[in-house]
Amino acid sequence: MNPTIELLKSHRSIRKFTEQKIPHELLVELIRAGQGAATSSHVQAYSVIHVTKPGNRETLAELAGGQGYVAGASDFLVFCADMKRPTEAAERTGANVVRGMTEQLLVASIDVALMAQNVAIAAESEGLGICYIGGIRNNPAAVSDLLRLPKHVYPVFGMCLGYPAQDPDIKPRLPVEAVLKEDTYCDDREQVEAFDATMRAYYQARKGGNKDANWSQNLTPLFDSKLRAHMRDFLIERGFEMK
């Protein structure tokens, strides 16, 4: 296997970091690597807020549901879907811009996710650890106010970056046969059952906290309640009306 594929397959989220700071030039280089990602129609519909003020880091840690590593990591980035910049640029050329289309929400959300994943891989290639923080969508309006996000920009997720102070096991993924389907969609219940057994064994054996659960059971809290039901109204208020 080539080293890039090895790196991709060795990812683990890191939630404990050393005191060592990431050099600023390296952080900027990671963002440049992020910008190398493919982007829908070259629109580059993202902005990244580098949160440097300790007080704001503490506030974000609380807003994300009390996730201490948001404040403790060397650096914390908030990845935003940004439809302000491209629509205003088009407007300046005389375009009669239509805003609030669902497609624009998708384009910006996909663009920022691809960009962030490039940043993550670049960081890991430098020996850094990362953890995505979707928890900022627990309180997206307060996060937007804190970061002074304008309309047509919304915070999609955060990312902690730093030098790892832990060495967690790699979390298994679904059997590739469940994910890779030939020509047409096919049922994958068998593979899910096999994966549930894999995950139960993983949780029982892993270092740093074991539990008696499987993958399907872990999904229950995601789907048996209206998780982050505020997102629809929040997005509409930000100018992503989903027309």
CA dihedral angle for residue 59, residue 64, residue 65, residue 70, rounded to 10 degrees = -70
Instruction: Give the integer Cα–Cα distance in Å for 66 and 135.
Output: 9
C-beta of 158: minimal distance to ligand FMN in Å?
8
Residue 109 contacts ligand FMN per CB under 6 A? no
Instruction: Give the integer Cα–Cα distance in Å for 228 and 236.
Output: 14
Instruction: Give the integer Cα–Cα distance in Å for 175 and 7.
Output: 19
Residue 135 contacts ligand FMN per CB under 6 A? yes
Instruction: Give the integer Cα–Cα distance in Å for 88 and 96.
Output: 10
Residue number of the CB closest to ligand FMN reads 134
Instruction: Give the integer Cα–Cα distance in Å for 129 and 123.
Output: 7
Residue 12 contacts ligand FMN per CB under 6 A? yes
Residue 133 contacts ligand FMN per CB under 6 A? yes
Residue 67 contacts ligand FMN per CB under 6 A? yes
Sign, Cα dihedral of 10, 13, 15, 20 = positive
Residue from the set 55, 66, 134, 150 that interacts with ligand FMN by CB under 6 A: 134
C-beta of 25: minimal distance to ligand FMN in Å?
27
Residue 215 contacts ligand FMN per CB under 6 A? no
Which residues inside 46-65 make contact with ligand FMN, applying CB under 6 A? 64
Residue 118 contacts ligand FMN per CB under 6 A? no
Residue 13 contacts ligand FMN per CB under 6 A? yes
Residue from the set 43, 80, 83, 131 that interacts with ligand FMN by CB under 6 A: 131
Candidate ranges 20-28, 30-38, 128-136, 183-191; the one touching ligand FMN (CB under 6 A): 128-136
Residue 11 contacts ligand FMN per CB under 6 A? yes
Closer CB to ligand FMN, residue 43 or residue 159? 159
Closer CB to ligand FMN, residue 121 or residue 131? 131
Residue 202 contacts ligand FMN per CB under 6 A? no
Q: 215-223 and 189-205 helices cross at what angle (nearest 10)?
A: 100
Q: What is the CA radius of gyration of the chain?
A: 20
Closer CB to ligand FMN, residue 86 or residue 135? 135
Closer CB to ligand FMN, residue 47 or residue 67? 67
Instruction: Give the integer Cα–Cα distance in Å for 134 and 137.
Output: 6
Instruction: Give the integer Cα–Cα distance in Å for 12 and 132.
Output: 11
Three-state secondary structure along 124-154? HHCCCEEEEEHHHHHCHHHHHHHCCCCCCEE
Which residues inside 145-174 make contact with ligand FMN, applying CB under 6 A? 157, 171
Would you tell me how many other CB atoms lie within 10 Å of the CB of residue 44?
Answer: 17
Note the residues at the interface with ligand FMN (CB under 6 A): 11-13, 15, 64, 67, 131-135, 157, 171
